[in-house]
Structure 1
Amino acid sequence: MRILFGPLCFLASFLFFSGEFLFSEMLMPLFGGASHVWITCILFYTIVLLLAYFLVYLVRILNPAVGLPILITLCLLQISFHSFKILFPHSGPPVWSVLWALANTAFIPLLILGMTTPLLQNIAEAASPKTSKILLNFSNVGSLMGLLMYPLIGDTFFGLENRRIIWEIASLACSLLVLVIGMSAYALEANLEKVSIPNPISLGLRTRWFFYSFLTCLLMLAVTNFITHGLGSVPLLWMLPMAIYLGTFWMAFSEKMTAANFFLRRYGPILWGVLQIISYAHIEQNTFLLHFRNYLFLFLATLIVNSEIYQRRPSQNLSSFYLVLNIGGACATLLVSAIIPHIDLSLSNVYLEFVLAIIFFAIFLLVRDYEKLKKSVATKIIFSAVISLIIYQLFPTIKNELESKRNFYGLVRILEENGEILMAHGSTVHGGRKIDPQLSNLPLVYYHPKSGVGEAFTFLSFPKKVASIGLGAGSILYYAYPGDEWDLLEINQNVYDLALKHFKFLAQTKAHYQLHLGDGRLLLQQSKSFYDLIVLDAFSSDSIPFHLLTREAFALYLSRLNAGGLLLLHLSNNYCDFLKVIAPIAQSLGLEMAYARRQIQDQLGKSDSLWAVLSKDLRLVQKFQSEKGWESPDQELLTRPLWTDDWQGLLSIMNIP
Structure 2
Amino acid sequence: MRYLLYALTLLLSSSLLFFVQPMVAKMVTPVLGGSPAVWNTCMVFFQALLLGGYVYAHASTRWLGTRRQSLVHLAVMIVGVLFLPIGFEPPTDATSLENPALWLLGALFLGVGWPFFVISTSAPLLQKWFSTTDHPDAADPYHLYAASNVGSFFGLVAYPFLIEPRIGVQAQTTLWMICYVVLIAAVAGCALALWRSAEPEAAASEASPPAAVLPLSWGRRGRWVLWAFIPSSMMLAVTSFVTTDIAPVPMLWIPPLAIYLLSFVLVFARVEWFRSLPVFTLFPLTLLGLGAMLFVQLGSPLEWVAGIHFLGLLIISLVFHGLMAADRPATRHLTEFFCWMSVGGALGGVFNALLAPLIFDRLLDYPALLVIAALAFPPALYSRRAVQITLLIGAALAGYLVGRDVMIYLGLERSRELATLAAVALSLGIPTVIAFTRARVLTPALLSVPLLISTFYLGQPEGNELHAERSFFAANQVVKTPDGGYHKLYNGTTLHGVQAQDDEFRLVPLSYYYLTGPLGQLFEVLSKRPERHPFAVVGLGTGAIAAYTHRGQEADFFEIDQAIARIARDPRYFTYLEDCPGECEVILGDGRLQLAQMPDERYELIVLDAYSSTAIPVHLLTLEAVEMYLKKLTPDGILAFHISNRHLDLQPPLTRIAGELGLVVRGRDHWVDANDPVYNLYVDGSDWVMMAKNEEAFGAIIDHPSWHEYKPEPRLRVWTDDYANIFDAYILDF
Is the shorter-chain TM-score for this pair beyond 0.5, marking a shared fold? yes
State which of 538, 543, 560 in structure 1 corresponds to 2:632. 560
CA distance in 1, matches of 2:725, 2:473: 23
Query: Contact conserved, 1:534 with 1:566, CA < 8 A, in 2?
Result: yes
State which of 248, 259, 266 in structure 1 corresponds to 2:281. 266
CA distance in 2, matches of 1:375, 1:582: 53
Query: How far 1:369 moved relative to its partner?
Result: 4.4
Query: Contact conserved, 2:233 with 2:349, CA < 8 A, in 1?
Result: yes
CA distance in 2, matches of 1:366, 1:421: 47
AA in 2 matched with 1:362: A
- Corresponding position of 1:577: 649
Query: How far 1:276 moved relative to its partner?
Result: 5.8
- Corresponding position of 2:37: 36
> Is 2:157 the partner of 1:86?
no
C-alpha spacing 1:270/1:311, structure 2 compared with 1 (3 Å): same
Query: Contact conserved, 2:74 with 2:188, CA < 8 A, in 1?
Result: yes
C-alpha spacing 1:555/1:310, structure 2 compared with 1 (3 Å): same
- Corresponding position of 1:478: 547
C-alpha spacing 1:232/1:257, structure 2 compared with 1 (3 Å): farther
| Structure 2 portions without partners, runs of 5+ | 207-211, 395-446
State which of 443, 456, 472 in structure 1 corresponds to 2:509. 443
CA distance in 1, matches of 2:297, 2:220: 42
- Corresponding position of 1:655: 732
CA distance in 1, matches of 2:349, 2:201: 34
State which of 481, 488, 500 in structure 2 corresponds to 1:434. 500
CA distance in 1, matches of 2:549, 2:378: 58
Query: How far 1:432 moved relative to its partner?
Result: 0.9
- Corresponding position of 2:179: 170
> Is 2:489 the partner of 1:423?
yes
Task: Map 1:213-228; keep pairs closer than 5 Å.
Answer: 213-228=228-243
Query: Contact conserved, 1:232 with 1:545, CA < 8 A, in 2?
Result: no
> Is 2:337 the partner of 1:321?
yes
Query: Contact conserved, 1:89 with 1:100, CA < 8 A, in 2?
Result: no
Query: Contact conserved, 2:35 with 2:614, CA < 8 A, in 1?
Result: no
Query: Contact conserved, 2:279 with 2:319, CA < 8 A, in 1?
Result: yes
- Corresponding position of 1:401: 465
Task: Map 1:178-577; keep pairs closer than 5 Å.
Answer: 178-179=187-188, 181-182=190-191, 185-186=194-195, 200-229=215-244, 231-232=247-248, 234=250, 236-256=251-271, 258=273, 262-267=277-282, 269-270=284-285, 273-274=288-289, 277=292, 283=298, 286-316=301-331, 317-343=333-359, 345-347=360-362, 351-365=363-377, 367=379, 369=381, 372=384, 376-379=388-391, 381=394, 383=448, 385-397=450-462, 400-419=464-483, 420-461=486-527, 462-501=531-570, 502-529=573-600, 530-539=602-611, 541-577=613-649
CA distance in 2, matches of 1:189, 1:440: 83
Query: Contact conserved, 2:481 with 2:487, CA < 8 A, in 1?
Result: yes
Give 3-state SS (helix, strand or coil) of 1:458's partner.
helix
- Corresponding position of 2:437: none
Query: Contact conserved, 1:252 with 1:261, CA < 8 A, in 2?
Result: no
CA distance in 1, matches of 2:382, 2:186: 50
Q: Which moved more, 1:386-395 or 1:468-477?
A: 386-395
- Corresponding position of 1:149: 158
AA in 1 matched with 2:521: E
- Corresponding position of 2:430: none
Query: Contact conserved, 1:68 with 1:186, CA < 8 A, in 2?
Result: no
State which of 649, 656, 667 in structure 2 corresponds to 1:595. 667
AA in 1 matched with 2:59: L
C-alpha spacing 1:179/1:314, structure 2 compared with 1 (3 Å): closer
AA in 1 matched with 2:145: L
CA distance in 2, matches of 1:257, 1:29: 44
C-alpha spacing 1:628/1:138, structure 2 compared with 1 (3 Å): same
CA distance in 2, matches of 1:38, 1:278: 24
Query: How far 1:175 moved relative to its partner?
Result: 2.0
- Corresponding position of 2:433: none
AA in 1 matched with 2:710: P
Query: Contact conserved, 1:463 with 1:482, CA < 8 A, in 2?
Result: no
Query: How far 1:407 moved relative to its partner?
Result: 1.9
CA distance in 2, matches of 1:271, 1:573: 31
Q: Which moved more, 1:586-595 or 1:169-178?
A: 169-178
Q: Which moved more, 1:298-307 or 1:570-579?
A: 298-307
Q: Which moved more, 1:315-324 or 1:38-47?
A: 315-324
Q: Deviations over 1:383-420 (max 9, x none)?
A: 565244334323344x5321122221121111123442
Query: How far 1:440 moved relative to its partner?
Result: 3.1
Give 3-state SS (helix, strand or coil) of 1:513's partner.
strand
> Is 2:71 the partner of 1:69?
yes
CA distance in 1, matches of 2:288, 2:711: 46
Give 3-state SS (helix, strand or coil) of 2:13's partner.
helix
State which of 124, 128, 152 in structure 2 corresponds to 1:118. 124
CA distance in 2, matches of 1:233, 1:12: 28
CA distance in 1, matches of 2:593, 2:198: 51
C-alpha spacing 1:375/1:227, structure 2 compared with 1 (3 Å): closer
**How many aligned positions are there?**
649
Q: Deviations over 1:473-527 (max 9, x none)?
A: 0011111111211121111111011011111100001211222111111112233
Query: Contact conserved, 1:485 with 1:512, CA < 8 A, in 2?
Result: yes
Q: Give TM-score, length-normalised by structure 2.
A: 0.82
> What CA RMSD, in Å, does the superposition of the two structures yield over aligned residues?
2.9
State which of 114, 117, 130 in structure 1 corresponds to 2:137. 130
CA distance in 2, matches of 1:337, 1:167: 27
Query: How far 1:367 moved relative to its partner?
Result: 4.4
Query: Contact conserved, 2:555 with 2:585, CA < 8 A, in 1?
Result: yes
CA distance in 1, matches of 2:276, 2:710: 52
Query: How far 1:60 moved relative to its partner?
Result: 3.1
C-alpha spacing 1:499/1:279, structure 2 compared with 1 (3 Å): closer
Percent identity over the alignment is 26
C-alpha spacing 1:491/1:81, structure 2 compared with 1 (3 Å): closer
C-alpha spacing 1:201/1:133, structure 2 compared with 1 (3 Å): closer
Query: Contact conserved, 2:226 with 2:344, CA < 8 A, in 1?
Result: yes
Q: Deviations over 1:318-352 (max 9, x none)?
A: 22221111001111111222222334x343xxx13
Query: Contact conserved, 1:535 with 1:569, CA < 8 A, in 2?
Result: yes
C-alpha spacing 1:292/1:436, structure 2 compared with 1 (3 Å): farther
- Corresponding position of 1:630: 707
AA in 2 matched with 1:361: A
